[in-house]
Structure 1
Amino acid sequence: MPYLAIDTATATLTVALGEKGKLLGEATTQLSRNHSVKMMPLLEGLMANLDLSPDDLKGIIVGRGPGSYTGVRIAVTAAKAFAMALNIPLVGVSSLDGLARHGELTDALVVPMFDARRKQAYTAFYEQQNGSFIKIVEDQLLVLDDLIKAINSRMVVRRLDKRKVAVLLLGDGAQVHRAELIERLGEKAQFAAAASHDFVRAAHLLDVGIPLLEAGEGQDAATFAPEYLQLVEAEKKWLEQQAGGNSQ
């Protein structure tokens, strides 16, 4: 029985079906809007092509964010509904994992970046250790200056460990800030060799999520929540207004 993975945290809408160690099918679009309209037809088409029905699903893996506030909610809401309606387990994994695994075979530091505007990026750090591709810094929201400082600090550690002093920068955040990253990181900075390596893949979420589900680490669908990492603009303004009112 296959597992389903969904992610809508960025401009990429991606769905995949697979088993442990085996991708059955994947469908991805690069639309910057209308994920809520396009997701179900994309998924239904993929399942029809594979002669599968919802009742065949064994579990759901969803990109929990970070990313677009509205985008993240689309996949999470759908995944929760599927899990509860079909009575199957659900697990959320970082959407950054779905981007970072494009670099899982490199010996460089891998830094996926989702553009968060205002010279900020959602990011995490990954690298090869003892033959495994692992996350060494958890998801966070950083301004570009702090991100570059964190990368340079990691380069010092890699140099001391006699490891390759290079960083693979992936995603729309890397492309938006490419000129400054090259200017400030110099020859250490590497970028995706192809545009197809600069977006989230649901197939990669399967790789991360299936072992979690098979280890019994599913989450309660009713209480599962996305990972935003920052307040939405309306919440920020409301809190600022409240703080201003309290200070008078």
Structure 2
Amino acid sequence: MRILAIDTSNQTLSVAVCEDNKILGEFTSTVKKNHSITLMPAITELMTVCQLKPQELDRIVVAQGPGSYTGLRIGVTTAKTLAYTLKKELVGISSLKVLAANCINISGLIVPVFDARRNNVYTGAYTFNKETEAWETIISDRHISMSDWLKQLQSYPAVYFVGEDIEKFREQIEQELPDSSLNTYPQWQIPSSAAAAFLGAVEEPVEEIHTFLPDYLKRVEAEENWLKEHSMGDESYVEKI
């Protein structure tokens, strides 16, 4: 199966073309640029270097979220457009799971972290099952305060944090989970679209491309403010929407 994988869920832009268990080509940039400008040229260049035509792809895999609202919209929209126009399969993968999949041969609980501001994070917990050779979700992706998250993780004996944003929470992590580990490999701190491709190769494609949406996990701040402003003091109104 020949796969084009896309991850624009955060500042890093990563695209890869993989076939079965082989990486045919991968482009990754951590330079802060507008993904809407750089994504399609990156895909075009990668396909050219790999000497492939778009029609030769079998599946499009995209990091579905959580992450940057703008980045997710760009990645998902591009993936949907390619899948629809080329009549190819489309698969969405958790952006957090893609990051966790970097952590080869790490036992225990792997915890990817994206900063969601105000001491909140997007996070989840994963582990690699050596018997099935598959990544398993132990705790589903969520938007949560870091304080509450660290309390939840205290019952696990081995916790390994990964992601560029973990440094922001180092003091908090070391205080609440002194026996945990923080990743120190720079290449593991950013997403790999090749990892997304391998994860997406074993997932079922979406049934309806048009209804496929980013998994934000949280409303945008402007929407939350509007709901609060128009709730007129009735908090249940916000919860029902």
TM-score by length of structure 1 reads 0.89
Alignment of 1:188-227 (within 5 A): 188-213=179-204, 217-227=205-215
The alignment's C-alpha RMSD in Å is 1.6
Kept after mapping to 1: 8 A contact 2:151/2:176: no
CA distance in 1, matches of 2:147, 2:141: 17
CA distance in 2, matches of 1:240, 1:15: 38
Q: CA offset at residue 40 of structure 1?
A: 1.2
Kept after mapping to 1: 8 A contact 2:127/2:138: yes
Helix, strand or coil at the partner of 2:47: helix
Helix, strand or coil at the partner of 2:4: strand
CA distance in 1, matches of 2:104, 2:111: 11
Q: CA offset at residue 170 of structure 1?
A: 0.6
CA distance in 1, matches of 2:57, 2:25: 13
1:173 aligns with 2:165: yes
Kept after mapping to 1: 8 A contact 2:76/2:213: yes
CA distance in 2, matches of 1:42, 1:192: 28
Q: CA offset at residue 246 of structure 1?
A: 6.2
1:123 aligns with 2:123: yes
Matched with 1:56 is 56
Helix, strand or coil at the partner of 1:222: helix
Matched with 2:226 is 238
Kept after mapping to 2: 8 A contact 1:3/1:206: yes
Q: CA offset at residue 77 of structure 1?
A: 0.3
TM-score by length of structure 2 reads 0.91
Matched with 1:159 is none
Matched with 2:138 is 136
Matched with 1:158 is none
Alignment of 1:1-248 (within 5 A): 2-129=2-129, 131=131, 132=133, 133-153=135-155, 155=156, 165-186=157-178, 188-213=179-204, 217-244=205-232
Give 5+ residue unaligned stretches, structure 1: 156-164
With over 3 angstroms needed to count, the CA separation of the structure-2 counterparts of 1:246 and 1:127, relative to structure 1, is: closer
Helix, strand or coil at the partner of 2:209: coil
Letter in 1 for 2:212: F
